[in-house]
């Protein structure tokens, strides 16, 4: 079996490597020369648990290669980004580019699978584009009609930090343009997926993916809204959630400085954009989560202003714990806003970064380690729940002024909130 994976990013590269491990010959195609070179030398350009060893192994065995140009294959997997424009309209240009690339080498008997998170109807657009570019091939149409190629949508569902485990263990939803397409794609996923493979149609599979991430966003928004109310009431939100979650049918997620990453902060907009009139809840959740970041910026600024001259450490830039991914990160937004306002008073601790993003450096922020922060910074703004921050014992931070947006230090003495700090400061 020969497989081409288009897009060697956070999803494409691990997927390509896992397929290569099953004995298939895999070609990874990417538009970025440095990515192709890195993979061909057996190395990885992204940080993900165990990915480096897997990639170096399959590249050394010759099962995985990377290239800027496509080759004929039996199965094509599209794993390219689907960003959105300023008005939140989904941008499926890269998916259509990938389909155009595939059209050049497509032959009867091949399977084309879209994995990128996409607005409902995208797989049908891929089908229509292939039909237009390759009038010599019969693309799937109605159920029961014969077709030369199979086309399906199968969303990735992996969690950064657990990608190699979840690629294999998670259940997969496989949506075919027709039931025959779904069955063909299912045979492919059965090579490496241990979880259940459930088939449906392409539109339902597309909406399922958007629904999963919108569900999480709405639930995080609930936690974030609670954190604001609890603050007004002078109650510890973490304790309230812990206690409420003892109810057998309540399971509240954790508040934070907002929602980041390239999925949960993006995908709900695809639903809102498709049907604005019927999505007030999903839309509001997005606004609540983005608004939480502004709230944290205001809280932190109030704390810093109440203690003139005191050095400040922002703990974390990543969009969530224990990863090196800074895309759409609320922590980064907070750190940026604070360094813009308070300049070189603000230092950043981020064990997953070698250097600061230029926008932060431009305002005089420096990257320091956690020990230096403990020694030098009386004000600490916790923005990411990295294990290395969580493990700082009370005796090293008892006298600090802390704004803990992730609830990692439940034993921190007051002032735990900036309101308390301001009260103490008079
Ligand atoms: N977050 C909170 N509170 C929580 C949980 C998360 O504030 O209780 C924040 C995180 O700090 C982060 C953001 O939400 O900023 C998103 O993190 P996440 O761990 O919820 O999700 P992602 O973006 O890493 O991965 C999600 C997953 N989707 C779901 O859990 C429904 C993953 O399974 C998907 O494959 C991935 O999106 C994707 O690629 O779509």
Nearest CA to ligand 1 atom 11: 320
Q: How many angstroms separate the alpha carbon of residue 278 from the centre of ligand 1?
A: 24
Q: Is residue 224 included in any domain, yes or no?
A: no
Q: Does the beta carbon of 159 lie inside 6 Å of ligand 1?
A: yes
When pLDDT is cut at 50, 70 and 90, the band that residue 426 belongs to is very low
Instruction: Check whether 297 has a pLDDT greater than 90.
Output: yes
Mutation pick for ligand 1 pocket among 216, 269, 384 (CB with most ligand atoms within 8 Å): 216
- Residue 197 CA to residue 152 CA, distance in Å, equals 13
Number of DSSP helices (H) and strands (E) in the chain, helices first: 16, 13
The CATH number that applies at residue 259 is: 3.40.50.720
Q: Does the beta carbon of 220 lie inside 6 Å of ligand 1?
A: yes
Q: Which residues neighbour 68 within 8 Å (Cβ) at sequence distance 6 or greater?
A: 29, 30, 31, 33, 36
Q: Which pLDDT belongs to residue 413? A: 87
Q: How many angstroms separate the alpha carbon of residue 74 from the centre of ligand 1?
A: 33
The verdict on ipTM greater than 0.90 is yes
Domain encompassing residue 10: 2-201
Q: Does the beta carbon of 160 lie inside 6 Å of ligand 1?
A: yes
Q: Does the beta carbon of 165 lie inside 6 Å of ligand 1?
A: no
Nearest CA to ligand 1 atom 37: 263
Q: Does the beta carbon of 328 lie inside 6 Å of ligand 1?
A: no
The residue among 371, 424, 414, 26 whose CA lies nearest residue 192 is 26
- Residue 36 CA to residue 28 CA, distance in Å, equals 8
Mutation pick for ligand 1 pocket among 222, 261, 318 (CB with most ligand atoms within 8 Å): 261
Say what percent of the chain tops pLDDT 70. Answer: 97
Is residue 109 left, alpha or beta, with left meaning phi > 0 and alpha meaning psi from -120 to 50?
left
Q: Does the beta carbon of 216 lie inside 6 Å of ligand 1?
A: yes
When pLDDT is cut at 50, 70 and 90, the band that residue 417 belongs to is low
When pLDDT is cut at 50, 70 and 90, the band that residue 333 belongs to is very high
Query: Helix crossing, 267-274 with 202-233: angle to 10°?
Result: 110
Based on the structure, what is the number of domains in the chain? Answer: 2
Q: Does the beta carbon of 213 lie inside 6 Å of ligand 1?
A: yes
Q: Is residue 277 included in any domain, yes or no?
A: yes
In a shared domain, residues 271 and 364: yes
Domain boundary among 201, 218, 247: 201
When pLDDT is cut at 50, 70 and 90, the band that residue 351 belongs to is very high
Q: Span 140-149, mean pLDDT?
A: 91
Instruction: Check whether 416 has a pLDDT greater than 80.
Output: no
- Residue 338 CA to residue 334 CA, distance in Å, equals 6
In a shared domain, residues 13 and 127: yes
Each residue of 381-395: pLDDT tens digit?
A: 999 999 999 999 999
Please identify, by atom number, the ligand 1 atom nearest to the C-alpha of residue 385.
11
Instruction: Check whether 158 has a pLDDT greater than 90.
Output: yes
Domain boundary among 156, 179, 201: 201
Q: Which pLDDT belongs to residue 422? A: 54
Each residue of 269-292: pLDDT tens digit?
A: 999 999 999 999 999 999 999 999
What is the pTM assigned to this prediction? 0.94
Q: How many angstroms separate the alpha carbon of residue 420 from the centre of ligand 1?
A: 31
Say what percent of the chain tops pLDDT 90. Answer: 92
Each residue of 201-213: pLDDT tens digit?
A: 999 999 999 999 9
Q: Is residue 226 included in any domain, yes or no?
A: no
Q: Is residue 223 included in any domain, yes or no?
A: no
Q: Which pLDDT belongs to residue 415? A: 57
Q: Span 158-165, mean pLDDT?
A: 93
Q: Which pLDDT belongs to residue 86? A: 83
Q: In the predicted model, what is the mean pLDDT of the chain?
A: 95
In a shared domain, residues 245 and 197: no
Q: Which pLDDT belongs to residue 87? A: 85
Please identify, by atom number, the ligand 1 atom nearest to the C-alpha of residue 261.
23
């Amino acid at each position: 079996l020969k497989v081409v994976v288009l897009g060697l990013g956070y999803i494409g590269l691990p997927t390509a490597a896992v397929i290569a491990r099953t004995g298939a010959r895999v070609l990874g195609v990417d538009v970025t020369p440095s990515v192709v070179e890195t993979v061909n030398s057996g190395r990885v350009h992204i940080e993900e648990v165990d990915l480096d060893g897997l990639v170096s192994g399959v590249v050394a065995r010759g099962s995985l290669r990377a290239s800027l140009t496509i080759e004929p294959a039996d199965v094509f997997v599209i794993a390219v980004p689907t960003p959105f424009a300023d008005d939140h309209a989904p941008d499926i240009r890269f998916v259509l580019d990938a389909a155009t690339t595939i059209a050049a080498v497509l032959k009867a008997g091949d399977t084309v699978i879209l994995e990128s998170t996409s607005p409902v109807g995208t797989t049908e657009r891929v089908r229509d584009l292939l039909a237009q570019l390759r009038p010599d091939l019969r693309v799937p149409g109605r159920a029961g009609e014969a077709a030369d190629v199979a086309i399906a949508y199968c969303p990735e569902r992996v969690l950064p930090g657990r990608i190699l485990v979840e690629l294999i263990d998670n259940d997969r939803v496989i949506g075919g343009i027709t039931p025959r397409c779904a069955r063909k794609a299912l045979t492919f996923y059965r090579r490496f997926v241990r979880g259940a493979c459930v088939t449906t149609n392409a539109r339902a599979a597309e909406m399922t993916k958007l629904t999963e991430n919108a569900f999480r966003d709405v639930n995080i928004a609930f936690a974030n809204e609670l954190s604001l109310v609890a603050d007004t009431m002078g109650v510890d939100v973490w304790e309230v959630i812990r206690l409420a979650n003892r109810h057998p049918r309540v399971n509240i997620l954790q508040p934070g400085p907002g929602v980041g990453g390239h999925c949960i902060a993006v995908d709900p907009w695809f639903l809102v954009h498709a049907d604005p009139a019927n999505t007030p809840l999903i839309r509001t959740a997005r606004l609540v989560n983005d608004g939480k970041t502004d709230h944290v910026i205001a809280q932190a600024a109030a704390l810093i202003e109440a203690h003139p001259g005191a050095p400040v450490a922002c703990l974390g830039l990543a969009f969530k714990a224990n990863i090196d991914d800074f895309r759409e990160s609320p922590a980064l937004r907070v750190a940026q806003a604070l360094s813009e306002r308070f300049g070189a008073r603000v230092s950043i601790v981020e064990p997953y970064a070698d250097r600061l993003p230029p926008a932060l450096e431009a305002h005089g922020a420096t990257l320091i380690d956690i020990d230096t922060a403990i020694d030098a910074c009386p004000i600490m703004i916790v923005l990411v729940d990295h294990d290395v921050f969580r493990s700082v014992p009370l005796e090293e931070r008892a006298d600090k002024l802390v704004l803990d947006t992730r609830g990692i230090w439940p034993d921190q003495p007051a002032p735990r909130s900036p309101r308390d700090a301001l009260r103490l400061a008079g």
